[in-house]
Each structure stands twice: as structure tokens, then as C-alpha cells.
Amino acid sequence: MLLQVTREANASTEATRVAEWLVRQANSWLPAPCWAVVARDNTDRLTVMADNGLNPGLSPSLWAAAEWVMSHGDDLLSGDLSKDLRSSARGHGTVIALPLQCRNQVAGVLIGLDPQTSSTAPALGGTLLLALKTVLEIPAIALDNALALQRAEALSVTDDLTLLSNSRYLNQVLRQETKRAMRSKRPLSMLFLDLDGFKSVNDNHGHLAGSKALVEAGAVIRDCARETDVVARFGGDEFALILPDTGPEGARAVAWRIRERMRAHPFLRSDGLSVRLTASIGVATLPDAAQTAEELLKAADIAMYKVKAAGKDGIHVAQE
């Protein structure tokens, strides 16, 4: 069993694949209505990495068990969660929840659930439980390594301050989307945005306030985009958006929405202030204004500077 687990648990460096394997394996060891693996994602929130049989009715039991094990680092075997003080009487049914220990920390939780209650806790003898924990050390290490790799990859393409994509990731996606757009003959638009008067925030309220304002601006911009769009902090107080399958009119509509919401947003309200910022936005669309990724970025940048030259707080579409 150890040889099999060592080989199969390390067959992938993707956290979800490792978790999916562990769920299947657990169900083969001890069939149950539901098995799941819970761990922390890139934002440090508990998330279900993989499951088999999880439904809305079992969710309260799952989270009650996961939170307790992650917090205490110990096993949770209960015949009736609704009467178990460890779960604060949340959930119901029978549960086996085992910590996936790695490097003296809990990398995740393996949880087995049955909606039926039992008069006694699941009977896992001491020898069996010890053997099971020994076996689980291997997938725990595999899961922890996969999650660490996932976080490192996310950090390499994420802006530290705003948590938007960074310019490195933007350029990477822009090249990919440009090739796809040219191949499929679908439009691809880009917005390049610069905050007007941002220097005055730093000058009047300090650089910490300026950083907070950038975070708020990033959130406003992100809320104006679709899930399929890429929103990035390009550098300083400049932001950029990649809008796949979007022509000039659609891109202009997104730019207008960003401009209006930026105008209306009271920045630094949490600091007792109400700073107003506006945005100068350049819009460019492939193939209308460019034929390559580099040309598209340059066209949007030039369009943005035309707004700056014309008095700021506006939108300019390249080649109009």
C-alpha cells in the first residue's frame, strides 16, 4: 500500500489532481456517501479541492469538520455532529475527518461523511488509525508541495499591492490572445488606463494613502470587467485590460463604465477622507488599430496619452 500510494500520490504536481486521487483512494478503502479533501487556496481561504458525493445538505457538516481539524490538528470521529461540541453542533450525521499533516502543519483535511447518525463514533482501532495516518503522510506531502507550487506560480503573475495580474502576465496573455484572435478572426480589444491627479494623493496624504487608493482603484476596475477579461496593474498608477472577443463599441462601453465608476467612487473613505480621482483611458482593437500584440499595446497607450493631452478624464479610441 505504501508503495502504491507513494507512486500514485506523486504522479501529478497539480493540487486538484492529488486531491482527486486521494478522494478516490479513500472511497476504495472505506466506501462512504461522501469523501472530500479541503485545503487553503491561494488567498488562504478553505476550499474543497476535490469531492465525491458532496451536496448542499452535507456542506454544513463538511465545513464544521474541516474548520475544527484545521484549527486543532487532530482527528475528528463523530457519530452525530449535531450533538458534538467540537463542531459547535453544526451539521449532522457521521464523520471521519483526518488531518493531512506535513512539516508539523495541517496541509489539508480528508473528510468522510454519512448523513445517517450513529449511536457511537466510527470505530477505527488504534493500530488501524495509526497505519492510516502513516499512509496519509505521503499524499499530505504531495498535496502540500502542489499547493506551494500553485501559490508560487500565482505570486509570479500577481501584483503584490492590488492582487491583480502583473505586467508580466499581461504581456503573456496578450500574445496568446492576439494569436487566437488572428486565427479565429475575432476582435480583441485592450484598454490602457492612467489615474488623473494621483500624484496629489501621495503629496497631500502620504504614500500609504496612495497605496490604499491604488488598491481601491484596482477593485473598481476589476468590478467593471467580465470573468474572461484580464485586468492588470501595468505599473505605478497605470492599469490595463485585455478584452477577448470584444470590438471597439464593446470596449468603449467597458471604458465608459470604468470612467463613470471612478468618478463616483469616494477614495480613502476608511481613512475619513473622500478623495476624488478620474481616469484617462485609451482603447485599441485588433485588427482595426493593430496587427500584433506589441502594436495593440502601443496603440492603446498612445490613445490614453491623447486623452491626457486633451484635458484628462476621458476616453479615446485608437484610429478614431
What CATH number is attached to the domain comprising 261?
Answer: 3.30.70.270
**In 3D, which of 159, 127, 287 has the Cα closest to residue 233?**
159
Q: Using the predicted structure, report yes or no on whether residue 33 has a pLDDT greater than 90.
A: yes
What gap in Å lies between CA 192 and CA 258, rounded to an integer? 11
Q: At 157, is the pLDDT very low, low, confident or very high (cuts 50, 70, 90)?
A: confident
Q: How many domains does the chain have?
A: 2
In a domain, 270, yes or no: yes
Domain limits for position 302 = 167-317
**pLDDT, mean of residues 19-43:** 91
**pLDDT, mean of residues 18-32:** 93
In a domain, 151, yes or no: yes
- Answer yes or no: do 306 and 238 share one domain: yes
- Answer yes or no: do 32 and 132 share one domain: yes
In a domain, 161, yes or no: no
Q: Quick one: DSSP state of residue 14?
A: -
What gap in Å lies between CA 53 and CA 185, rounded to an integer? 42
pTM of the complete model? 0.60
- Contact indicator for 257, 208 with CB cutoff of 8 Å: no
Q: At 75, is the pLDDT very low, low, confident or very high (cuts 50, 70, 90)?
A: very high
pLDDT attached to residue 116: 93
Grid cell 491627479 in the structure block, residue: 197
Q: How many CB atoms lie within 10 A of CB 97?
A: 28
**pLDDT, mean of residues 1-29:** 86
**pLDDT, mean of residues 202-224:** 95
In a domain, 50, yes or no: yes
- Answer yes or no: do 111 and 85 share one domain: yes
Of 156, 191, 207, the residue at which a domain comes to its end is 156
Of 101, 134, 156, the residue at which a domain comes to its end is 156
pLDDT attached to residue 90: 82
What gap in Å lies between CA 23 and CA 52, rounded to an integer? 7
pLDDT attached to residue 70: 94
Q: At 37, is the pLDDT very low, low, confident or very high (cuts 50, 70, 90)?
A: very high
- Answer yes or no: do 26 and 137 share one domain: yes
Q: At 215, is the pLDDT very low, low, confident or very high (cuts 50, 70, 90)?
A: very high
Q: Tell me the per-residue pLDDT of 216-262, one tens digit each, with 9 for 90 and over.
A: 999 999 999 998 899 999 989 999 999 999 999 999 999 999 999 99
Cis peptide before 266 (omega within 30 of 0): no
Q: Tell me the per-residue pLDDT of 263-312, one tens digit each, with 9 for 90 and over.
A: 999 999 999 999 999 999 999 999 989 899 999 999 999 999 999 999 99
- Answer yes or no: do 138 and 267 share one domain: no
- Answer yes or no: do 149 and 175 share one domain: no
- Answer yes or no: do 117 and 198 share one domain: no
- Answer yes or no: do 193 and 112 share one domain: no
- Answer yes or no: do 13 and 151 share one domain: yes
Q: Tell me the per-residue pLDDT of 106-128, one tens digit each, with 9 for 90 and over.
A: 999 999 999 999 988 888 877 88
Average pLDDT, the chain: 91
pLDDT attached to residue 12: 79
